[in-house]
A and B are shown apart, each in its own frame.
Chain A
Amino acid sequence: MRSVSIVGMGKTPFGAFPDQSILDLAVGAGRKCLKDSNVAPSQVEAFYLGNFAGPSFVGQNHLAPYVAAGLGIDGAPATRFEAACASSGAAFFHAWMAIAGGMYDLVLVAGVEKMTSQPLARVTEILASAGDLGGEVKAGATFPAMFAMIAQRYMHQFGATREHLAAVAVKNHANGAKNPDAHLRKTITLEQALAGRPIADPLTIYDCSLVSDGAAAVLLAATERAGEFRKPIRVLGVAQASDRLALADKEDITTFPAVRAAARQAYAMAGAGPADIDIAELHDCFTIAEIIAMEDLGFVPRGEGGPATAAGFSALHGEKPINTSGGLKSKGHPVGATGVGQLCDLVLQLRCEAGERQVPSANVGLAQNLGGSGATCVVTILGR
């Protein structure tokens, strides 16, 4: 297995962009990435695109060659990956495999989602289609409702409080306010977060990530060729794992087995453990998801994610900064772009190009990208 590096990155801002099509967004991020790595489209040997629901959101199918052609990548295989909110994480994992296995030297991976052109009730319906349509979705469950049930059970078992959930939102908004590419650049107070409009109890609007448009891209190269590029970042470990789709089919909804499995494999590949991770981008689709991810990744013991967050453990200048980009909560969550977007933010930190939100001693970063209510997880560990 060959070592693989990220040798370029590009992303659009995340937000609501009524004047930009899904193609504009994906091509925009891809072009920035190729420019960043000083690579011509003709040099790209394969193109992997993460996208959750382009066909439902904007009606366009066969997206990967559509975007590849827009980028001037001619003839190379172009394939779309769908794994709900982990779509571009899955695309990245498979692109990594293609280089690690010796098939290609240079692969472009992108993620894109165009969500804001649909009314909110329709967006909710499209997102819910990543759940079990025959069971939970038919009963009326939405993703906020599924994570609300996860939060209720978690609070019941561990005594966590709404203040613990709100602390995640306050922290991520504080970070996002420092990120020029974030969807919502504003700080919020604990009181605001607690008094938010109820969505599915105990979750308020401030516990939920944003509905955003956006795209992100990274260029992967065999590390033996990384010397040709500016500031390459090594992929130290990466793994993808799956679990049952329906929440009712899981034995314990307060932990995600796919996260634990992917983390175990990624840590083993990197020869690292939780203590070696300097910064992390975690999948805070809902505030409770960040708390559980902290525990499943081994950053804190079970049941201690909430109190640790409230105590500043994961703050920008805390012991282990989490979601310095603002996370899905504040940076935004264009579903198919999120996995690669997390990697772009880690690359910025590891290159010391994260501006106002730069963490001084960031040498090793971890990204955790979750699909649905935990049926897919991709964990990636990067190092400089």
Chain B
Amino acid sequence: MTLHLCTGCGQAYVTPPAFCRCGGSEFRAVEAAGRGQVYSCTILHAAAAAHEADLPFQIAIIELEEGARLTARITGPAVAIGDAVRLAGEREGVHFFTAATT
């Protein structure tokens, strides 16, 4: 997956903002392996109309090794906080992660 690093402070972003938290506004695109760990997660039993067909499903805030965080879907077995995960794919702008051991 592509990450965007601030040329000023090195902060990594999944989507580059207009300005980095340090005030910098230049970003360098780098390819990342998509490895990280679960910062938090939940299994949904109710969803918005567009996602109801997928229930139940798990989402998680993933902290990538590069430091950037994103909200992603989990595929495969359920994960818990602290679990190592890896990118399993991307569909329509949504990142899917799975337990790193699978």
| Pairwise interchain contact B71-A248, C-beta atoms closer than 8 A | yes
Chain B residues, CB < 8 A from A125: 48-50
Interface size on A, residues (CB 8 A): 35
| Pairwise interchain contact B48-A142, C-beta atoms closer than 8 A | yes
User: Shortest distance in angstroms between B61's beta carbon and chain A's nearest beta carbon?
Assistant: 5
| Pairwise interchain contact A156-B71, C-beta atoms closer than 8 A | no
Chain A residues, CB < 8 A from B92: 138
What string of 1s and 0s marks CB contacts (under 8 Å) between B23-36 and chain A?
Answer: 00000000000000
Q: Interface residues of B toward A: which range? A: 20 to 34
Stretch with Cβ within 8 A of B (4 or more), from A108-116, A197-205, A376-384: A197-205
Q: For the complex, is A304 an interface residue (Cβ under 8 Å from B)? A: no
Q: Which of B15, B45, B49, B72 contacts A139 (CB 8 A)?
A: B72
What string of 1s and 0s marks CB contacts (under 8 Å) between A119-153 and chain B?
Answer: 01110110010000011111111101100111011
| Pairwise interchain contact B47-A149, C-beta atoms closer than 8 A | no
Q: Which of A122, A134, A145, A248 contacts B42 (CB 8 A)?
A: A145
Q: For the complex, is A246 an interface residue (Cβ under 8 Å from B)? A: yes
Q: For the complex, is A84 an interface residue (Cβ under 8 Å from B)? A: no
Q: For the complex, is A253 an interface residue (Cβ under 8 Å from B)? A: yes
Residue of B nearest to A250 (CB): B69
Q: For the complex, is B59 an interface residue (Cβ under 8 Å from A)? A: yes
What string of 1s and 0s marks CB contacts (under 8 Å) between A188-231 and chain B?
Answer: 00000000011111110000000000000000000000000000
| Pairwise interchain contact B61-A134, C-beta atoms closer than 8 A | no
A-B contact pairs, 9 of them (CB 8 A): A128-B48, A134-B15, A134-B93, A135-B71, A141-B59, A149-B40, A152-B41, A201-B42, A202-B42
Residues of A within 8 A of B (CB): 120-122, 124-125, 128, 134-142, 144-145, 148-150, 152-153, 156, 197-203, 246-249, 253
